[in-house]
Amino acid sequence: MRVAVACFEYEGNSFSQKIDGRENFEMNTLSYGKKLIEVSENQQIAITGGIDSLKKNNCKILPILIAKSGSGGKVKKEFFLEIKKQILKRIKKLLPINGVYIALHGAMICNELDDPEGDLLRSIRKIVGEDIVIAASLDLHAHVTKLMVSSSDILVGYETYPHEDAYSTGVKAGDLLIKALNREIKPLMVMRKIKAIFPVIGGSTNQGFPMYYVRKKARELEKIKSVQSISYFPVQPWLDSEDVGVTAITITDKNYDLASKISQNIINEMWERRKDFELKSYTPEKAVKKVISNKSKNFILVDAADSIGGGSGGDSVAILKAIVKESKSIETAICLVDPIITRKAFDIGINNSSNFKIGGSIDKKYNSPFNIDALVESFHDGVFRYEGGPLAGMVANLGPSVVLRKGSIQILVVSNSVYEHLDEHFRCCNINIFSKKIVVFKNLMNFRKLLDRNMDHLIVNGTGSTPLKLQDVNWKNRKAPFWPKDNFKDIPLMMDE
């Protein structure tokens, strides 16, 4: 069996002002042809799992390309079209093939283009024809569209959040593709979607959170004969589009009624638990006061509205301001993205002090700079390797980085907004977060892995392009009633699924 494999992953955010093109993907992962095999070998990402599954089943792997980045705003239209062209051109050249496996995020957005991933899958379908099996793996926060479903045979989402199973999701997609190629199954997908979006921060699949039960139910129902895969997508909510909503997809062996019933069942489970996704949060000022009044524990302050993993710029100073105002003697570590400041600090030089207008240089709509006098403490190259999560083993590049000091506050200023896993970014710049009373994290889930008896957390409702209260967002395109802005008597199904 000849199977074309590709990876094109990016998570969009309509409120972020970032527009990412070639440069951004090159800084992450961008390789063509055989190099895809080299860069993905022994990694924990979905494409590696898919390739390993296909190899195990004696498929001839036909590597197309890998273009993988983290979260941001939009992919530049020209870059999307270029990658699409490369994928189509390379697949065409390799025909005849039996199948296609592509690792996608599922929530990519593009300037001037609707539904880029649906468009890509449809274009692949046009080239390979109706009889070739197309499988894709997706992030749990994918925004799955009708076009994505109608243009593919197999869509499989991550099972966990924090995301720990990118690799096994790739394996699952690969295994199903093989079953379909061997004619053991004829995959039939049914999607259900509702007019609802949930706060990401409450969406963990670990015990104690609503998605734990959804995950459990899905795994139980997957044991039914003929059920091949059940995926749930609580969705990337910061996408300003009418058709974005919490989604379930079931794949059966040609059993429409069963697939439909199960997708409905999973949607019901998520809808019934909708209120549990909302978690208690604090203003920056209240959060800092609460930390100071607690003498025994250290705290992670979760800068929820400026989550880099959700597409934010990582340049909000709302929490830093509150800390400086309250006391400069609280042992603090905070990381901010501001390439202008890193350049300025290099000019000023080590052990010198200066006034810095820090932050607010990326998500300018939400954040403005903060004036602070600080000492330039140390410089770093900002390169590290992820030690866990979906990018475990991969190299990340914060770019030229500088540690500034204001009293007991250490401000790590980096040049690139890079996905936070745990404290790798602090550690590569010699900051030990465990000696701090306050550590500010700009991620919504991975920080939980650091919590213990000595380390507590508070969720902070600050500023940025991943706002916590979805009902208060100034939506432009999302005009129809939706949860949590509007209440519904019955489950609000989208009728176009």
Binding interface with Zn ion (CB under 5 A): 139, 141
DSSP secondary-structure letter at 97? -
- Compute the least distance from the CB of residue 163 to Zn ion, in Å: 6
What are the C-alpha distances in Å from 220 to residues 42, 179, 225, 234, 253?
30, 21, 11, 19, 17
In the bound complex, what is the minimum distance in angstroms from residue 161's beta carbon to Zn ion?
Answer: 6
Assigned token pair, 3: 């199977």
Q: Say if CB 250 and CB 243 are below 8 A apart.
A: no
Q: Which is nearer to Zn ion, 141 or 421 (CB)?
A: 141
Least separation, in Å, of the C-beta of 140 and Zn ion?
5
d(CA 389, CA 22): 25
Nearer to Zn ion, 361 or 443 (CB): 443
* Closer Cβ to Zn ion, 99 or 309, answer by number: 309
Tokens 């989604």 sit at which residue? Answer: 247
User: Smallest distance, Å, CB 105 to Zn ion?
Assistant: 8
* Residue 106 CB, nearest approach to Zn ion (Å): 9
Whether the link from the prior residue into 284 is cis, omega within 30° of 0, is: no
What is the nearest approach in angstroms of Zn ion to the Cβ of residue 177?
22
Nearest-approach distance from CB 200 to Zn ion, in angstroms: 8
Are the C-beta atoms of 380 and 430 separated by less than 8 Å?
yes
Nearer to Zn ion, 141 or 406 (CB): 141
Q: Residue 194: beta bridge partners? A: 493
- The residue nearest Zn ion at its CB is 141
Closest to Zn ion by CB, 139 vs 423, is: 139
Q: Closer to Zn ion by CB, 159 or 269: give it.
A: 159
Which structure tokens are listed for 303?
């800068």
Indicate the residue among 31 and 205 with the shorter CB distance to Zn ion: 205
Phi/psi region, residue 76 (left: phi>0; alpha: psi -120 to 50; beta: rest), is: beta
**Run of H or E residues at 343:** helix 339-348
Helix (H, G, I), strand (E, B) or coil at 382: coil
